[in-house]
A = this chain, B = another copy of it.
Amino acid sequence: MEASTVSARPWFPQRVTICEVGPRDGLQNEAVSVRTDDKVRYIDLLAAAGCSNIEVTSFVNPKAVPQLADAEAVWARLAVFPGCRYIALVANERGLERAFAAGVRAIGLFTAASDAFTQRNIGMSVDESLTAFAPLAARAKADGMYVRASISTAFGCPFAGPVRVADVVRVAQGLWALGVDEVSIADTIGVATPNQVFDVVAALVPHLPVQRIGLHFHDTRGTALANIVAGLQSGVAIYDSSAGGLGGCPFAPGATGNVATEDVLYMLHGMGIATGVDLDRVRAASRFIGEKLTGRVVSRAFAALEAADRRAALTRA
């Protein structure tokens, strides 16, 4: 039998950058507090696994986010991995000062596509946040920092409901005009489906280079990997994920939040797309941090691969 020689596969990027958000976005949303030592160890394990972009912590008000009150202490103890970019969230001038003082070289700024969300989350409208971020982005870029800007609720808002594609484009243009290096489009509540991804990315690409667009999906309704396929096909090659799927969903207690790094890696590597990240070593990081948390690791690939290892160990025994 002759195999077909014409590939039926659509075009996909051959290399993808994973931005590992477990230490910040993941741990911030877990009920259990993790010791500074354990956070540092978790981040070290992720960096050793080949994660080249890691969202490490937030320099924000420790009263608002007590889980990340040890930002300086964590930062001071990070090991140096060549080529690894550690990212810290910053919400205002005070946070940027703390980040400068700590030696941070990459910051993340967070706004949203809906005023209802930014008002509750950062106490400003979306437009006010763009105005507030302008001097932060300018100072950070003048200092040679990498600046990542995220748009939460880009596929739906827990307070306002559906979000218009035009609103996402408007905010992305606003952020891009501030001179940021990357704009990350986030499905904060995990409602997106693939056609929305095709639509949003297609609407963005006339306004900023597709190489500077990132996508951040939650697996709350199981659609995260399907959305990544749509993102890949649209040309996007930067994806956020959380080792072990840490983080949960603050808007749907008991539901899944961030897509798990293990699931993303399993799929991408299966598709022949390189990430530079070692799935087994990410699993080791998830195993480590899972033991520190009462919440279980929710990655499906993690569960399947751990089960396979236990089976193999029994066979050898």
Contacts and interface: CB of A to CB of B under 8 A. Distances in A.
Contacts of A93: none
A137 B301 CA distance: 38
What is the count of identical protomers in the complex?
2
A300 B195 contact: no
Given A1-B170, A254-B307, A304-B190, A271 B8 contact: no
Nearest to A263: B222
Interface string A163-191: 00110011000000000000000000011
Nearest to A300: B222
Contact of A253 (B12, B222, B307): B307
B229 A300 contact: no
Interface in A226-283: 226, 228-230, 233-234, 249, 252-256, 260, 263, 266-267, 270-272
A94 to B, nearest CB: 34
Residues of A in contact with B, size category: 35 or more
A8 B199 contact: yes
B3 A223 contact: no
A266 B221 contact: yes
B263 A202 contact: no
Interface in A47-70: none
A140 B257 CA distance: 47
Given A195-B272, A267-B194, A271-B194, A234 B8 contact: yes
A125 interface: no
A145 to B, nearest CB: 30
Interface string A276-305: 000000000000000000000001110111
Contacts of A272: 195
Contacts of A271: 193-195
Contact of A255 (B195, B201, B260, B303): B303
Contact of A266 (B199, B202, B223, B300): B223
Interface in A193-210: 193-196, 198-199, 201-203, 206
Contacts of A215: none
A82 interface: no
A10 B304 contact: no
A220 interface: yes
Given A166-B3, A230-B229, A299 B8 contact: no
Closest 9 CB pairs of A and B: A193-B270, A8-B202, A222-B263, A222-B300, A252-B307, A225-B226, A221-B301, A255-B304, A9-B198
20 contacts: A1-B169, A1-B170, A3-B166, A4-B203, A7-B202, A8-B199, A190-B304, A193-B267, A194-B229, A219-B300, A221-B266, A222-B260, A222-B299, A222-B300, A223-B266, A229-B229, A252-B303, A252-B307, A255-B303, A256-B300
Given A193-B271, A222-B260, 11 more contacts: A4-B203, A7-B198, A7-B202, A220-B304, A222-B267, A223-B266, A226-B228, A226-B229, A249-B304, A252-B304, A254-B307
